[in-house]
Amino acid sequence: MTSPLRIVIVGGGSAGWMCAAALARVLHPARYNITLIESDEIGTVGVGEATLPHIKTFNDLLGIDEAQFMRDTQATFKLGIEFRNWGRTGDRYIHPFGVFGEPWGGVDFQHHWVRAKQAGHELAPFQEYSYAIAACRRNAFEFPNTDTKSIRSTYAYAYHFDAGLYASFLRSWATQRGVRRIEGQVANIGQHAQSGDIETLTLKSGEKIAGDLFVDCTGFRSLLLGTTLKVQWEDWNQWLPCDRALAVPCDRAGEFTPYTRSTSQTGGWIWRIPLQHRTGNGYVFSSRFLSEDLARERLLGALDGAARAEPKLLKFSAGRRVRTWKNNCIAVGLASGFLEPLESTSIFLIQAAVIDLLRLMPTPESAGRIDPRLVAEFNRLSDIQYERVRDFLILHYRANHHEGVPLWDHVRTMPIPDSLAHKISLFESRGHVPFYKDGLFSRDSWLSVLFGQGLMPRHYDALANAVPIDDLDARLRELHARIASNADAMSSHSEFIAHYCGETSSR
Ligand code: FAD
């Protein structure tokens, strides 16, 4: 009988434990052994509190009880991200986890809206045709309706949670299901002399761990893929110049929003993430344009409750490893790359990598000779994810009107990737935006930022003309009223959580 494939995960942050939990859930224990090594001495990055709706699918895959998970991680609901002062000072728009309008006549909603606007009709702003945004504006939350004809079914939700508590939650989940956990620091890595495959890890204690497949979840260190297998780093700093963050939790105060807030600043932007027990805050900035001292001062001045600690400095660079799978090693999480947390994408990228790894998992029979087609496909999928996120993040910087502010002048005038230039000009010319059936940031996400930061199409899709203009006017009015009246009837976010999670939320 073939021996089980020995999978060794190095790192016990969100990446390591998400990977261990999913593998333990799906792979047969008689065919796969899963070990995770983590170092208490090194610790984890300790941030990463805002997520995207895909995380619910991940938790559902594990069979996690949602209310229990929310209690244990002090989670709140998230319906989108509010961007303040991004296009111009005073602007406020929301990137919602939901759609805009309805696709009448098979034509995307934005074309109808632009047509009516160009015809001189009195219209509500584009943002007011999203149900998720209407809920955010009221600090309201309810689960989406399962009746797909209802306007209340047109959104999804994610969570804000305490990153440390989420990793502990997954750790106990995974270890109860057969994942072997070893506490220790990997000090030496043994490779096969010819192939370069990783064979053994030696801990500081002298203990040796052998494996067939290694998952590098060592965070920014990228100990296996980067340091040992020497996979190059591709720097994207020319497009995303922020390279520092100061993070600080504060007492819960101010609005209990069902959304993350991102407020643009002279040298970057400040995040605000409401949890049940505290609020997470951070200033992401570019060290070329702002000093650490000024960033600290601005961050502490922006808190809406008393700081609970000294701000913690994190240094990073935007980019990724040119390959995320090489030989018998796959990097997941920060070990594979990092793009600033502007759209809460890192945990999603972990999830996507873990799911792709499961789909392409080598069999125990193939130990020592992994099919290169699996590796190539994994790397292809990873490239798509990273590049889509990159373009979407750059758009936020590019479309700004903060003339005379050095960081913002730089990002408004810098050369951008051709793929992004094409997307912006297609929108400006005809109102079309990318639509992907899978993955991240499709039509409505692009629309929220493009309209939200003041871009406007010159023309709309001619197919929209098939709807008589008077009908269109009536439909727009009815839709706007239906969104508002339904959203008015929702529960408040804080009441919903108090009821759903029980007494722990009111502490
Ligand atoms: P880490 O948490 O750094 O874990 C690395 C692990 O490797 C640790 O357990 C460490 O002990 C172990 N390790 C390292 N070296 C060794 C060794 N030699 N031997 C043994 N063990 C070792 N993501 C989001 O999705 N949403 C957000 O809102 C968000 N905000 C962020 C804000 C900032 C400022 C930053 C920097 C990141 C943010 N992220 C966010 C990203 C998110 O924090 C990470 O993607 C996530 O925490 C996963 O990290 P990780 O597990 O890859 O690395």
SS3 for 203-231 is ECCCCEEECCEEEECCHHHCHHHHHHCCC
User: What is the Å distance from ligand 1's center to 314 Cα?
Assistant: 11
Query: Of how many residues is the chain composed?
Result: 507
DSSP notation for 457-490? -SS--GGGGGS-HHHHHHHHHHHHHHHHHHHHTS
CB of 364 closer than 6 angstroms to any ligand 1 atom: no
Three-class secondary structure of residue 418 per DSSP:
helix
CB of 347 closer than 6 angstroms to any ligand 1 atom: yes
Which of 218, 259, 262, 287 gets mutated to test ligand 1 (max ligand atoms within 8 A of its CB)?
Answer: 218
Catalytic residues: 78
Q: Which two tokens stand for residue 6?
A: 């020995």
pLDDT at 46: 85
Which of 10, 41, 44, 271 gets mutated to test ligand 1 (max ligand atoms within 8 A of its CB)?
Answer: 44
- Burial class for 206, CB neighbours closer than 10 Å (0-12, 13-18, 19+): exposed
Query: Per DSSP, what are the bridge partners of residue 268?
Result: 265, 285
Domain ranges of the chain: 5-49+162-235+318-387, 79-85+95-157+417-488, 244-315
Q: What's the average pLDDT block by block, 10 residues per block, for the chain (507 residues)? A: 94 97 97 97 91 96 96 97 97 97 90 96 95 98 95 97 93 96 98 97 98 98 98 97 97 93 98 96 98 98 96 97 98 97 96 97 93 97 94 97 97 96 96 81 93 97 94 95 97 96 56
Rg (C-alpha) for the chain, rounded Å, is 24
CB of 281 closer than 6 angstroms to any ligand 1 atom: no
User: What is the Å distance from ligand 1's center to 47 Cα?
Assistant: 7
CB of 221 closer than 6 angstroms to any ligand 1 atom: yes
* Closest C-alpha residue for ligand 1 atom 29: 48
pLDDT at 39: 97
- Alpha carbon distance 423, 432 (integer Å): 8
What ranges make up the beta strands (E) of 14-71?
32-38
User: What is the Å distance from ligand 1's center to 38 Cα?
Assistant: 12
CB of 265 closer than 6 angstroms to any ligand 1 atom: no
pLDDT at 131: 98
Task: Give domain 5-49+162-235+318-387's CATH number out of 2.130.10.10, 3.50.30.60, 3.40.720.10, 3.50.50.60.
Answer: 3.50.50.60
CB of 302 closer than 6 angstroms to any ligand 1 atom: no
Q: Which of 221, 163, 160 is nearest to 18 (CA)?
A: 163
pLDDT at 505: 42
Q: Which two tokens stand for residue 287?
A: 């060290």
